[in-house]
């Protein structure tokens, strides 16, 4: 029998009680009568633990009015009660046995006047299809907008966890850039970064992009067997999870003495990244932060070489809302946390990126990553 980890570093029960209440209120404001949330980061956000995401249905039914219900396999009930503590006593738990069809019980657990139900974004298709059949003619809509409205604004406690994750990532970045990198393969350096993230306090090391030489012009390059050599630009992007919240940071290094052309490119990138961070303030549209970086890069003649958005939200997921992109006119609010990571990529030659996690505050931007943004010169 495979048993998956359900570890989550919980806040107090009052936090999850408040989140459940706020999610119900947000659903009602959007004319959604109930939310159906299966194991996911949304589920962990609301209840404080990661339930096993298996083929057996586990589903939180959160009505806009009334008591939340948790439908779950009977064999998972002890784990759920242990993980949630006293919060479990405030939910209606409906365990089902192996010979039962849990989908048939869901309609009876909804209010009689239910017309629209929000389905959690990452719910398995097999669950969505069976729920749609069981709930017909109730309309199924995305739960994402409702839950994102809560998750995108971080509480002070959440921001503190993001600070801790950023500090740990900074420690790993400082360690890897102090080592000799030439002569090692991208894959070897990537594995080393993952170890360093764990040593620095992460519970899990999620990823390490190590892109050397011409590979540095590929923003999402997968580390391979290319050997790092003198004259290479080197993009190092890493992240993981600490206390249930994510880190994500990128720095650029150069092996040996960089040529003037690369130094000019990097100076433009530094200016653009600093300008985007300086643009962060309550009420500023997300697209204006993107524009602050993009305009500087375009004016320097590298506009076509900046091929992705300036940033993405971060929290319990590495990528979540708000997105810092030209199409997003959403005004920033205190508590919004996101990356600021412009990049310049010249195909076949080299690339560079600088990434920090930033939190919008009443006074502007708090940049969580503290490691140097200067070009790292490595051996």
pLDDT digits over 224-251, tens only?
999 999 999 999 999 999 999 999 999 9
DSSP annotation of 332: P
Q: Domains (ranges, CATH) in the chain?
A: 13-151 (3.40.350.10), 156-378 (3.90.230.10)
* Strands, E assignment, the chain: 34-37, 59-63, 69-73, 92-96, 116-119, 139-142, 204-212, 233-242, 245-246, 249-255, 311-313, 320-324, 337-340, 343-346, 350-353, 356-361, 364-367, 376-378
**pLDDT per residue over 288-322, tens digit each?**
999 999 999 999 999 999 999 999 999 999 999 99
Distance CA 292, CA 272 (A): 7
Give pTM, 2 decimals: 0.92
pLDDT tens string 130-155: 999 999 999 999 999 999 999 999 99
Q: How far apart are CA 142 and CA 161, in angstroms?
A: 28
Q: What digits encode the pLDDT tens for the residues 93-126? A: 999 999 999 999 999 999 999 999 999 999 999 9
**pLDDT of residue 1 exceeding 90:** no
Q: Give the pLDDT of residue 8.
A: 62
Q: Whole-number mean pLDDT of the chain?
A: 95
- DSSP letters, 183-227, are TSBHHHHHHHHHHHHHHTT-SEEEEEEEEEGGGGGSTTPPP-SPB
């Amino acid at each position: 029998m495979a048993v998956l980890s359900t570890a989550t570093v919980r806040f107090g029960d009052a936090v999850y009680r408040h989140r459940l209440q706020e999610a119900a209120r947000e659903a009602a404001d959007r004319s959604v009568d109930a939310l159906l949330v299966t194991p996911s980061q949304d589920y962990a956000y609301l209840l404080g633990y990661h339930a096993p995401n298996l083929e057996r249905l586990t589903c939180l039914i959160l009505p806009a009015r009334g008591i939340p219900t948790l439908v779950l396999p009977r064999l998972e009930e002890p784990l759920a009660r242990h993980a949630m503590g006293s919060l479990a006593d405030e939910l209606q738990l409906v365990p089902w046995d192996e010979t039962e069809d849990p989908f048939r019980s869901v309609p009876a657990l909804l209010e009689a006047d239910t017309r629209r139900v929000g389905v959690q974004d990452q719910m398995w298709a097999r669950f969505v299809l069976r729920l749609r059949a069981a709930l017909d003619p109730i309309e199924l809509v995305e739960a994402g907008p409702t839950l994102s409205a809560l998750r995108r604004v971080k509480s002070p406690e959440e921001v503190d966890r993001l600070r801790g994750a950023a500090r740990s990532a900074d420690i790993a970045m400082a360690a890897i850039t102090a080592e000799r990198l030439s002569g090692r393969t991208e894959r070897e350096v990537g594995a080393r970064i993952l170890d360093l993230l764990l040593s620095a306090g992460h519970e899990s090391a999620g990823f390490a992009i190590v892109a050397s030489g011409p590979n540095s012009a590929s923003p999402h390059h997968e580390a391979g067997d290319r050997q790092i050599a003198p004259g290479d630009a080197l993009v190092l992007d890493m992240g993981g999870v600490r206390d249930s919240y994510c880190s994500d940071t990128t720095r650029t290094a150069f092996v040996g003495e960089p040529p003037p052309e690369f130094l000019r490119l990097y100076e433009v990138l530094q200016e653009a990244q600093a300008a985007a961070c300086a643009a962060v303030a309550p009420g500023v549209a997300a697209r204006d932060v993107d524009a602050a970086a993009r305009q500087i890069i375009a004016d320097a003649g590298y506009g076509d070489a900046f091929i992705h958005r300036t940033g993405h939200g971060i929290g319990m997921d590495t990528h979540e809302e708000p997105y810092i992109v030209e199409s997003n006119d959403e005004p920033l609010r205190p508590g919004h946390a996101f990356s600021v990571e412009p990049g310049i990529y010249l195909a076949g030659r080299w690339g560079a990126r600088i990434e920090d996690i930033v939190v919008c505050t009443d006074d502007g931007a708090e940049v969580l990553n503290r490691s140097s943004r200067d070009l790292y010169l490595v051996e």
